[in-house]
Amino acid sequence: MVSLNKTRLVFCTMAPRNIIVIGASAGGFDALKRLVHDLPADLQASIFIVWHMAPDVTGILPQVLARHGSLPAQNAEDFESINLKQIYVAPPDRHLIIENSHVRITRGPKENRFRPAVDPLFRSAAYTYGTRGIGVILSGALDDGTSGLWTVKDHGGIAIVQDPLDAEIPSMPRNAMREVEVDYVVPVSEMAELLVRLTLDEAAETSEVSMEANKQTEFEIRTAAEARTTHDVMKFGELTPFTCPECHGVLFQMKDAARPRFRCHTGHAFSSDSLLASVTENIEESLWNAIRCIEESVMLLNHLGHHFNKNNQPALAELYFKKALEAVERGKIVRQAVFDNERLSTDIVRAQAVDENGSEKNVEGRVKPGNEK
């Protein structure tokens, strides 16, 4: 049941926690295999997985998970019904979204440079099932999933991350811990037992979510589901001077969390971390384009110089050769700029945040110690 008032949305449920959403990226393949291997065949829950992959990669993850575990796994199909004791995997180049009693598979705009992305799945689980949701972040780079896990927690669900010391690539769980008051931090070897225990508990009866936050979550789900109007983002974000690395549209900073998060008016979404990585990557691409243009100008100037030299115009030829040499020197400066350019992310910057004695500064932000509440 859903009840409305002027300022709050209240989810009321007496159902068990049986919606498990899992996000993973680099290093997550082995973690997913281990987790699924340990889950029992009679698990009273539905499992939904987003694992970052290239769009042209064959979606073999379901077959691998089915071989390693006792639960059936498959690439999810659009409008497929949700059943217990079933694993649904986002297929390549498709977002996986949960709606009432069924899933959606869409080609909505990329989030954090990925499709499928973790955040749309987590937001849709939180919006649709509230306190029944359990969000799990496994190994991966950057911070896709942090915003979605925050939404799961905000809607009364349970937030779990793989212990960063247990993760092959700890950035995704570590970033989630910085931004979300996670409930459990555990190695993969202990995660299946934890999930079984949590699915045996009844979800909390109510979870209050502000109406404004709920409208924004709905907007972001509709964006991933290819069902939104162009100017909706203006209602939930503030205009910035930044441009979208995907389409070069204007970016808006979303209003929902302490950590900056951005969307363009066409729908692409970026965490601050993924935007920083994209921008610094684009710097290198732009510099190489500049080098290419400079070298083309050098070749053309020399070509013209030889042409005028053959036509007995040595003074003009010499000027073209001089301009070519000047361009070569400028090219050296740009080439050095390429070599000096850094691809940056939150983890890279934090790793460099050391004092003169070589000890790490207090820049970790909020990290909840221990394994449980």
Task: Map out the domains of the chain as residue ranges.
Answer: 9-208, 275-350
What's the pLDDT at 369? 41
pLDDT of residue 146: 95
Average pLDDT, the chain: 88
pLDDT-derived band at 258, boundaries 50, 70, 90: low
Q: Per-residue pLDDT averaged across 6-27, rounded?
A: 75
CA-based max dimension of the chain: 93
What mean pLDDT is predicted for residues 98-107?
95
The answer, yes or no, to whether the previous bond of 116 is cis (omega within 30 of 0) is yes
Q: How confident is the model at residue 5, as a pLDDT?
A: 36
The confidence band for 240, taking pLDDT boundaries of 50, 70 and 90, is: very high
pLDDT of 348? 80
Span 209-231, pLDDT tens digits = 888 888 889 999 999 998 765 56
| Residue 2 pLDDT > 60 | no
Which residues have a catalytic role annotated? 25, 52, 144
Question: What pLDDT digit, counting tens, does each position of 289-328 carry?
Answer: 999 999 999 999 999 999 999 999 999 999 999 999 999 9
**C-alpha–C-alpha distance, residues 365 and 367, integer Å:** 6
Residues 275 and 262 sit within 8 Å (Cβ to Cβ): yes
CA 293 – CA 269 distance, rounded (Å): 31
- How far is residue 182's CA from residue 88's CA, in Å, rounded to a whole number? 24
What per-residue confidence (pLDDT) applies to 15?
A: 82
Give residue 206's pLDDT band: very low, low, confident or very high (50, 70, 90).
Answer: low
**Phi, psi for residue 44 in degrees, rounded to 5:** -90, 65
Residues 6+ apart with CB under 8 A from 359: none
Name the CATH architecture for the domain at 9-208.
3-Layer(aba) Sandwich (3.40)
- Region 234-261: what's the mean pLDDT? 87
pLDDT tens per residue across span 56-84: 777 899 999 999 999 999 999 999 999 99
pLDDT at 373: 42
For residues 205 and 122, which has the higher predicted lDDT (pLDDT)?
A: 122
Q: Provide the percentage of residues in the chain whose pLDDT is more than 70.
A: 88
Q: What is the pLDDT of residue 345?
A: 80
- Give 172's pLDDT tier (boundaries 50, 70, 90): very high
Question: What one-character-per-residue DSSP string does 306-338 give?
Answer: HHHHHTT-HHHHHHHHHHHHHHHHHHHHHHHHH
Confidence of residue 359 (pLDDT cuts 50, 70, 90): low
List the strands of the sheet with 206-210, edge to edge: 2-4, 8-12, 206-210
φ, ψ for residue 138, nearest 5 deg: -110, -170
C-alpha dihedral (145, 151, 154, 155), degrees to nearest 10: -120
Amino acid found at 144:
D
Beta-bridge partner residues of 209: 9
pLDDT of residue 257: 57
- Residues 282, 290 contacting (CB under 8 angstroms): no
For residue 134, is pLDDT > 50? yes
> Could you give the residue ranges of the DSSP H alpha helices within 225-263?
233-236
Top mean pLDDT of 183-197, 226-240, 271-285 is at: 183-197
Residue 270: C-alpha distances to residues 110, 144, 146, 276, 310 (Å): 9, 9, 11, 9, 56
- Say if residue 31 is exposed, middle or buried (CB neighbours under 10 Å; 0-12, 13-18, 19+): buried
Distance from C-alpha of 43 to C-alpha of 16, rounded to nearest angstrom: 12
Distance from the Cα of residue 65 to its chain's centroid: 22
